[in-house]
Structure 1
């Protein structure tokens, strides 16, 4: 099911006033400021929908990506979303933490996944990229998160060469990842 916004309501055959009226009558559900879904739409993660709607290049990263890949037991307080550095972080009503990543490395390890219950997709970083990013940004996310994710990834059969290939392409990631791999090996 596609989201509706006041600016795109006409494509769905609704005027702006009809969109707002449908929301007041309960036929549309307001999931965030200016973003609506049909009330009978299947259950979906509203933060994912809001991030993907506000920024088409939104990419789930850090602890949220590790949680998606089941590499951590940590439940993030907010959805960690990366956008290219220099982009304006959108105002959001959901629990979304916007992070700005370097444009030259933004697409490394990035893939698109469908948002369950909708016809939208959102970017997410691979397990290897997510682990390298948590080591790179360990002062923000904590060293324990990176170490535990790395241990779980290795336990599942992760290949250190793949991780080092990604880490060597990211600033400030190669050395801490290599040191952690040496300690754990």
Structure 2
């Protein structure tokens, strides 16, 4: 079911006050400030719903995306979400780490995926983009994350040329990727 916001309540046949009463009565779950979902809706990740409801261009990145692609054993304690640099970082109740990525390269390796159990979609970076970002931002995410993900990706048959093509388009990425590939070869 779609996340419902008070301003969209009339589209669902409710007034704002009726939505609030329904939420108090247990007919709607309050996901976050201003975001509600029917209580009988299928199970869904509320953090994903909040990120997608707050920013249509929200894109799962870094450790969170590597975990989705099963390229790391690290369990992220927050949802890593990228938005274009210059955008306002939304206030959220969920455990979301917002990252600002350059507008010119924001869509590189980005796809939209449906949020399971919801009618919303959220962006997700490709495994190759996530590995390159882990090397590029190794000072923030740690040096081991990128190496671990790269080793697993290569073990599954990943092609180094794909990584180098993406790394060449992102700042501070090509050198560390080439060094890591050299060491692993």
TM-score of Structure 1 vs Structure 2, range by shorter chain? over 0.9
Structure 2 distance, partners of 1:23, 1:30, is 7
Structure 2 distance, partners of 1:164, 1:14, is 52
Structure 2 distance, partners of 1:133, 1:175, is 13
- 1:112-148 CA-partner distances (Å, limit 9, x unpaired): 1110001111000000000000100000000100000
Spell out the pairing of 1:44-83 with structure 2 (5 A cutoff): 44-83=44-83
Structure 2 distance, partners of 1:33, 1:130, is 30
Q: Secondary structure at the match of 2:183?
A: helix
Structure 2 distance, partners of 1:164, 1:42, is 40
How far 1:3 sits from its partner (Å)?
0.6
Matched, 1:162 2:162: yes
Spell out the pairing of 1:122-137 with structure 2 (5 A cutoff): 122-137=122-137
Aligned position for 2:141: 141
Q: Secondary structure at the match of 2:42?
A: coil
Aligned position for 2:89: 89
Normalised by the length of structure 1, the TM-score is 0.99
Structure 2 distance, partners of 1:10, 1:178, is 55
Q: Secondary structure at the match of 2:65?
A: helix
RMSD (CA atoms): 0.4
Structure 1 distance, partners of 2:8, 2:122, is 19
Structure 2 distance, partners of 1:161, 1:9, is 49
Aligned position for 1:31: 31
5+ long unaligned stretches in structure 1:
none
5+ long unaligned stretches in structure 2:
none
Structure 1 distance, partners of 2:119, 2:3, is 9
Matched, 1:20 2:20: yes
- 1:43-86 CA-partner distances (Å, limit 9, x unpaired): 00000000000000000000000000000000001000000000
Aligned position for 2:173: 173
- 1:74-103 CA-partner distances (Å, limit 9, x unpaired): 000100000000000000000000000000
Q: Secondary structure at the match of 1:7?
A: helix
Structure 1 distance, partners of 2:132, 2:5, is 36
